[in-house]
Structure 1
Amino acid sequence: MTHLGHPNKSSKTSEALDIALDLTVEGLEASKDIIVDALSVPGTGIAIDAVIGILKKVQAAKLNHNALKSLREEITLLMNMLQRLAKAVDTELPADKYPVNSAERGRAKEDVFKSTGLVKRVDTLARQLEAICADADKLLKRNRFSRFVHTTGDARAITDMKDKIAAARQAFQIEDDVITEATVTEALTRIKSIIAMQKAEEEERVLNSIPRADRAHYLSDANAMKARLQEGTRERIFESLNEWVEAQLLAAGDSTQPVRVLVGEAGTGKSTVASEFAKRLKEWGLLGASFFFTRGLTDLNSPTKFFSTVAWQLAQSQPVLRRPVVDAARQHLKTGALLQLEIQFKDLVEKPLSSLPEPHPPIFIVVDGLDECTEEGPQLVPSLLRLLLSAAVRPGSPLRVFLASRPEPQYIHDVFTTSDVKPHVSVTSIQEFRNTVDRDIESLIWARLAENTTSKEWSDGNPDAVYDIVDRSDGLFIYARTAVDFILADLDPTWIQRRYDALLRAKQAHGLVPLDTLYRTVLEGVFPPENRLPQMQEDLRHVLGYLVAVLDGKGISPRTLEKLTGMPTSESVPILNKLRSVVIFEQDNVDSRFRIIHATFREFLGDPARAGDDFYVNAVEAHGRLAEGCVSVMRSFAEDWQGTGTDAQARLILQYLTFDSTLFHFIYACRFRLKHLKLRRAPSQFRDRDSCQPVGADDPPPVAAFENFESYANHKSQKMSDLIRTIYAHIRESLPVGSKWTDTLAAMEELLAGRNFLPSDLISHMFIILDIRAVGNRAVWETAQDQTIRTLADLEDQWAPKLASVIKTAYDTGDYAPLRRAQCDLHKAIVAAGLTPGVQILYEE
């Protein structure tokens, strides 16, 4: 056995070791960039260069082969460690989810390496290896003069280098008994979770910035009455629709008829079919979006938010489209919120859809009530349809469209017959299923009458009554529903019979359709001519007018109506109680919102030839009364605002933002005053040029701030921000000299400057204002006991700097979530200290 350091080695062994060393150096050089790119920690490249330098210099010195072999093995262990660390990073940050050079990847690595102290440890490792490399350089220079004389000292020097590298590796790899790779992996998992949450929040903020009509969805409360499908009915229609869906699934991207249109007259149940179809598509995982137009309801009677709403729903229902819609929305919103239909379509719908791979499973969109698009309908609805259908008929498109509409207006159906669209559209008339409709209506009536004992006993004893109602319905589901609701308005058997007899006595005259006859019968049945004294007739006209003209899709309550128009609840509630077969209203409840059940009743009331002199509603007069009421409410609010202090003003803003019921009348005025002013025609008995003029520039700032906040998309009005900043300034001036809350309020004021915001963001501002006032008010300090003063001082010392830090984070990132959490914690701290907070907490994350 050769003594350590003895130069007598075979040339074959020497050659094999040289080859191994050469391959090791080549491997190190090849893996350097990979490791450096994966880790992105300053000093990593320096460390690897030092290792390569050590090997090259020691190899060139032609030293002891055994020592060289041990050194190579130790260096291999070191490099394997770095490679495992790089692999751990790449495994936790896969390139498909965290692309190279992406902000998310860079931030994750930066946060992890900082939190684990990896930067410092790499720097230490690099300096240690550079020192060892310097030792190797000395060894190389010395052996140039004694290349053929090897001593045991050289072997010991190499062994010493090996031991130093081993110590450096172990110090780097293990800290506090935890392996570095495990520490980094754990930290990356944690950071990724945080990044994912913040990314989701940021995406949600972008999506929530898209203007949309939330109540257009088939599940919204505005469509609740349309979702009343009687089980076991409409089976033939749904068999046909199911066949169409199956054909689309089989055809994938090569569908010949991606558009299905259901046509039917008013009251034939198209909306109910559309609602049930959307529900089934949702259950099958195929529904992308739904939009149910509704005549007379803001945002639902206009195409202006159609494509932006569809885009928002697609992002929610189709995970694969969420990121494309978010990215498209970021760019789109830089130009503006509510842009032209074509721009909305191209930016928010067409572009995200084009990102999907082909073929892609079908994505269905359900659109109901195109005929109820009364706002710029003739101008915009054809454009909407052409754009939507162009996306559906494009070869390879996954989009499938179901449309439901009346046969009129003609400009809707003209789009379906154009040469480029017609071959791709299947039009079905609901009348094709007429032979099953009577059976379905009969089933519906029997089911409704069986819901309580009295009406069931009456129907069992009068089976012909059901068939009479079926005959009079003439295929109209809305007739059958309304007729049964009218009959059952009073469950006294005598009144059930009387109302049924009234339906039978009603004769169609002057060419009126069955619904007109029904509506007149209902109104005359609950308001017979002999009971309609002049004042009663006037009150009835007003209530019917408000039913037609109120613009809030959810309706308004009698209490809100009283504050807006002065009509006492004692006058409106009895009338609404009697209208419950055609109006949604909870009996005797002054806070129950009322609205018309079906659009055909609104159309009936608005047509003098159909409603007659007794029930005809002049909508423009009703709009005039509501416009006058809105102006009066807003001016009264402005006057009250001027007479209140900053605390009261902050509370009013908080009530407004949290939709407090005591401010419903003011919120309604802010939202719809301008629209009522536009729709009103001021006859002489309503015209008051001063009272119905828009609030001018000389009026107090609150009026413009609140109205702008409601009128403009996404709450981007700077006026509300400026109003709150004014409150901040006033509160700062009222704080004791030297109060630490002063800086906090100043930071909050700066946070609002020039920023877009959501109502939830401003709610946090209002809570903080009121809670700071509760613990920082000068009067409290002057009158408080010693213990209370100490408690207040402790709260100020702890929370003023903490809030300032969180506010800075919100300012830098635009992320309000930490601020909301901090506000909740402050609120709890005030309560825990036995003090009274500025306001009762309304939400908690």
Structure 2
Amino acid sequence: MSSHLVVQTFDVVLDNAPAIFELAGDALSLLPVPGLALVVKGLSGIVDAGARVNDGTRRAFMEEVMALSDTLKKMLRQTRAAVQDAVGDEGAGRALIEDIMRSEALRLRVQTLKSTIDALGDRIKDLKGGPGISGFLKGIIYSSRNEDTLSDMKDRLARAIEIFTLEGQLSIETVLGDAIENAKEIRQALEKAEDEKVLDAIPRAEAGYRCVDELKSGFLDGTREELFAELDSWSTGEFPKQVYFLSGGAGLGKSSIAHRLCTRLDEPTLGASFFFGRGNIESTLPFFSTLAYQLAISQPTLRPYIIHAAREHHKRATMVYHRSLDDTLDTWAGDVSRYLAETISKMSPYRDFIHGKPQMLERLIHRAGGVFIFARIAVKFLDTNRNHPNPQEQFELLLSPVGGAGLSPLDALYLQVLMSAFPREELCRSPSRHNHLQSFLTVIALQLRSLKPDLIELLWPGLSKDDVVWMTDQLRSVLLMDRSGYVLPLHATFGEFLVDQNRCTDPLYRVNSSAGHAKLALGCITAFTFENMSAYLAAANGALLDQFIHYAKSNWDIHLGQAEVNDELKEHIEQLSSAQNALLHEGTGLDRRWCLCEYKAIAQDAVQISLEYAKSAAYSIRWWQIALESPNLRMHTEATLPNIEAEEIVQNTLRIFDIPQAEVVVTSSDIARYEAVHKELVERIRHENAQEAWFN
């Protein structure tokens, strides 16, 4: 029932019912005190029976009844006003009434009144009389006795009403008012939490300019001055245009320019920013949703509209077509040349070297070809090896055509950096070192958002934090550890290079994408232990475990969708189906449907695993929805666990996962298995005294 209909029902009751005991049906359900509907029903029966007594005694009794009726109608008016304030959302009024009815203070008030009404109902049997001549004669014969009985009933009712209306000098209206305010606060908190949950469920990437300041801040002051004058005119001028299209080839510095513009604009002018240099750079899916999320955070006027759209959106797959742009190298060539000349001339010992052999600098400038990222990596490579006794040898390494004649200068540079930091001979002699390097490069290439060394250690067992720090330092020409400690490529093209066999021509350094995603999916799934989840629920935001579980639950399915199938991974997916928990299924939506379809497509024997996961997840999601709304589970060891029927599981599965209806069959043995898993989980939660964390 919507809030408007609830208010209309109140109006009907208040306008057409002379006394509260004449209410019936839906109207009784509007009485916002637990048990009060039963009181009114009992009172109605007593009033009917009181008709057997003469007018004088009955009139005194009815005065008490009408006094109670007036009090209850005042409570109805008070509740109506509160419900009217809640008009707007569907069901808001009914939800407010339900929250009011949870008031313990109101419940205690009505207990005494109800027990009195129940006792008075028993005393009705002592009233003699009834219809017909026989009843009339009995009424006359027992009139004195009836009057005494009804008088006693009146006195007892009066005392109960007094306690109900003014116990402890606190009026029932005040108690109801407090309950209403408390219910409103709860409702507002729930709505705010729900809004935050809706926002948090928006798929997004950590791609705003603040996330990449270290990566993109290598900007040389004094360059691009004409361009920035044009950008300032576009963004803050008197007649700004809606779109500015900045074009150029890869590595020419577009991201650095965009980053500098964002830092200059910032709040409140900057609404949102997205840099395709981090995370899953091949996917355009998070682009628009990330912008929507940032706009909801930065623009209060847009926030409610974005939340509403996100809540109603049905998450349909989006196809984006992107056409490559012609390079405009001539535009940037002068700035790249200036960057190389000015930067290297300030680096000892290269200053004296290029002064004596300027042709080496000219060759490097020519090889850069106007590509800014090549120039920046070359400078970092020289800086990394500045203590080498032979500067010319370092220049020769930069200029050498490694990897074959078909490689681009940037790819040849990437390969040269890897070979210099980790020589082939050493890797061939030490399989363990090669394995560590392969693991590290796999994480760098496939991580869906940048990770810290200690988090990588948790995600990829066998790769220690010290290993990660050391290898990052060895590859500091192409990798960056930002001020927050996250490890990421200096440019997105490094990750692309590592997984492409046509670009990374040496298999010693190449990353196997599908095998790497399988290992990362496995690392995520194995994170979902009871101990980890309990600690995660109690952990402070930003703690290491909080970051680990957040990455795992947000990205396990994406890694799985791109993974090669192996027995170990299938075994853990099966275990995942039998160990459902609340956090695992937050944000279940498009990506999870997609990954299941992909997983089914790449291995026939994975179909049953996917279907079983989908059904068990659908059950678990509904189970937790019910459980978290029930205070009994966290307070009473004998509380009844949620009961979910097969049809509801089927409908939930069809709604959440993109699976044909004919494939979804839920049996009684399935339900028994799901129930057993969740019962065991509840028992363990209680045994570990973890109710506050799990059921809060």
- Give TM-score scaled by structure 1 length: 0.45
- Rounded Cα–Cα distance in structure 2 between residues aligned with 1:698 and 1:612: 34
What's the offset of the Cα at 1:323? 1.8
Aligned to 1:157: none
Q: Which residue, out of 676, 701, 712, partners 2:563? A: 676
- Rounded Cα–Cα distance in structure 2 between residues aligned with 1:105 and 1:192: 11
Provide, for residues 377-396 of structure 1, a one-character-per-residue CA deviation record: whole Å limited to 9, x for no partner.
xxx322xx7xxxxxxxxxxx
- Rounded Cα–Cα distance in structure 1 between residues aligned with 2:392 and 2:284: 45
What's the offset of the Cα at 1:242? 1.6
Q: Which residue, out of 493, 500, 507, partners 1:600? A: 493
Aligned to 2:667: none
Aligned AA (1:432): T
2:521–2:559 CA contact under 8 A, matched in 1: no
Aligned to 2:449: 553
Provide, for residues 260-288 of structure 1, a one-character-per-residue CA deviation record: whole Å limited to 9, x for no partner.
2211111111122223333444334242x
Q: Which residue, out of 271, 275, 284, partners 1:292? A: 275
Residue 662 of structure 2 corresponds to residue 772 of structure 1: no
Aligned AA (1:675): Q
- Rounded Cα–Cα distance in structure 1 between residues aligned with 2:194 and 2:463: 46
Aligned to 1:205: 197
Q: 1:510 to 1:677 in 2, by over 3 A?
A: closer
Q: Which residue, out of 488, 503, 513, partners 1:623? A: 513
1:583–1:597 CA contact under 8 A, matched in 2: yes
Unaligned runs of 5+ in 1: 1-35, 48-85, 121-174, 252-256, 342-379, 386-404, 410-428, 450-454, 587-591, 642-647, 679-690, 728-738, 757-764, 776-798, 804-818, 824-845
Q: 1:579 to 1:495 in 2, by over 3 A?
A: farther
Q: Which residue, out of 225, 239, 246, partners 2:229? A: 239
1:213–1:309 CA contact under 8 A, matched in 2: yes
Aligned to 2:616: 719
Residue 645 of structure 2 corresponds to residue 654 of structure 1: no
Residue 201 of structure 2 corresponds to residue 217 of structure 1: no
Provide, for residues 355-395 of structure 1, a one-character-per-residue CA deviation record: whole Å limited to 9, x for no partner.
xxxxxxxxxxxxxxxxxxxxxxxxx322xx7xxxxxxxxxx
Q: 1:244 to 1:179 in 2, by over 3 A?
A: farther
2:87–2:93 CA contact under 8 A, matched in 1: yes
Q: Secondary structure in 2 aligned to 1:381?
A: coil
Unaligned runs of 5+ in 2: 1-6, 19-76, 110-166, 540-544, 594-613, 625-633, 654-678
Provide, for residues 205-257 of structure 1, a one-character-per-residue CA deviation record: whole Å limited to 9, x for no partner.
222333x1232333336x7513443444433322222222235x636xxxxx5
Aligned AA (2:589): A
Q: Which residue, out of 287, 310, 313, partners 1:306? A: 287
Q: Which residue, out of 485, 492, 508, partners 2:380? A: 485
Bigger radius of gyration: 1
Q: CA RMSD in A?
A: 6.4
1:627–1:673 CA contact under 8 A, matched in 2: yes
2:623–2:644 CA contact under 8 A, matched in 1: no
Aligned AA (1:250): F
Q: Which residue, out of 219, 222, 237, partners 1:229? A: 219
Residue correspondence of structure 1 range 142-181 to structure 2 within 5 A: none
Q: 1:612 to 1:475 in 2, by over 3 A?
A: same
- Rounded Cα–Cα distance in structure 1 between residues aligned with 2:564 and 2:320: 25
2:207–2:274 CA contact under 8 A, matched in 1: yes
- Rounded Cα–Cα distance in structure 1 between residues aligned with 2:176 and 2:471: 71
Aligned to 2:304: 323
- Rounded Cα–Cα distance in structure 2 between residues aligned with 1:329 and 1:513: 43
- Rounded Cα–Cα distance in structure 1 between residues aligned with 2:232 and 2:329: 15
2:268–2:298 CA contact under 8 A, matched in 1: no
Q: Which residue, out of 331, 343, 357, partners 1:432? A: 331
- Rounded Cα–Cα distance in structure 1 between residues aligned with 2:353 and 2:457: 42
Aligned AA (1:542): Q
Aligned AA (1:600): T
Aligned AA (1:269): G
2:446–2:495 CA contact under 8 A, matched in 1: no
Q: 1:40 to 1:480 in 2, by over 3 A?
A: farther
Residue correspondence of structure 1 range 825-844 to structure 2 within 5 A: none
Residue correspondence of structure 1 range 310-709 to structure 2 within 5 A: 310-333=291-314, 338-341=315-318, 380-382=319-321, 407=325, 431-432=330-331, 434-439=333-338, 458=349, 464=355, 473-490=368-385, 493-495=387-389, 497=391, 500-502=394-396, 506=400, 510=405, 513-528=408-423, 533=428, 535=430, 539=435, 542=438, 546=442, 550-554=446-450, 577-584=473-480, 595-605=488-498, 611-613=504-506, 617=510, 619=511, 622-623=512-513, 625-626=515-516, 629=519, 650-654=530-534, 659=545, 672-677=559-564, 691-692=566-567, 695=570, 699-700=574-575, 702=577, 705=580, 709=585
Q: 1:224 to 1:191 in 2, by over 3 A?
A: farther
- Rounded Cα–Cα distance in structure 2 between residues aligned with 1:281 and 1:628: 41
1:228–1:272 CA contact under 8 A, matched in 2: yes
Residue 637 of structure 2 corresponds to residue 742 of structure 1: yes
Q: Secondary structure in 1 aligned to 2:245?
A: strand
Aligned AA (1:479): F
Q: 1:694 to 1:325 in 2, by over 3 A?
A: same
Q: Which residue, out of 221, 241, 250, partners 2:239? A: 250
Provide, for residues 737-767 of structure 1, a one-character-per-residue CA deviation record: whole Å limited to 9, x for no partner.
xx974235x458989x9799xxxxxxxx999
Aligned to 2:248: 264
Provide, for residues 475-518 of structure 1, a one-character-per-residue CA deviation record: whole Å limited to 9, x for no partner.
33212321222122256x44584664445764799475442443
- Rounded Cα–Cα distance in structure 1 between residues aligned with 2:532 and 2:175: 51
Provide, for residues 407-444 of structure 1, a one-character-per-residue CA deviation record: whole Å limited to 9, x for no partner.
269xxxxxxxxxxxxxxxxxxx5753554454456566
Q: 1:521 to 1:693 in 2, by over 3 A?
A: closer
Q: Secondary structure in 2 aligned to 1:312?
A: helix
Q: 1:665 to 1:309 in 2, by over 3 A?
A: closer
Q: 1:820 to 1:531 in 2, by over 3 A?
A: closer
Q: 1:271 to 1:701 in 2, by over 3 A?
A: closer
Q: 1:576 to 1:703 in 2, by over 3 A?
A: farther
Aligned AA (2:193): E
Identity between Structure 1 and Structure 2 (%)? 23
Aligned AA (2:531): R
Aligned AA (1:245): S
Provide, for residues 74-127 of structure 1, a one-character-per-residue CA deviation record: whole Å limited to 9, x for no partner.
xxxxxxxxxxxx9xx99x9998xx66797657877998999999xx9xxxxxxx
Residue correspondence of structure 1 range 9-158 to structure 2 within 5 A: none
Q: 1:114 to 1:700 in 2, by over 3 A?
A: closer
Q: Secondary structure in 2 aligned to 1:260?
A: coil
1:236–1:433 CA contact under 8 A, matched in 2: no
What's the offset of the Cα at 1:670? 6.2
Provide, for residues 283-340 of structure 1, a one-character-per-residue CA deviation record: whole Å limited to 9, x for no partner.
34242x3333348x44x4223343333333332222222222222233224xxxx313
Q: 1:614 to 1:575 in 2, by over 3 A?
A: farther
Aligned to 2:674: none
Q: Secondary structure in 1 aligned to 2:308?
A: helix
2:398–2:413 CA contact under 8 A, matched in 1: no
Q: 1:551 to 1:563 in 2, by over 3 A?
A: closer
1:490–1:496 CA contact under 8 A, matched in 2: no
The aligned length equals 508
Provide, for residues 550-605 of structure 1, a one-character-per-residue CA deviation record: whole Å limited to 9, x for no partner.
3433258599579858689998876554222113469xxxxx87553323334444
What's the offset of the Cα at 1:651? 1.7
- Rounded Cα–Cα distance in structure 2 between residues aligned with 1:467 and 1:241: 32
2:209–2:273 CA contact under 8 A, matched in 1: yes
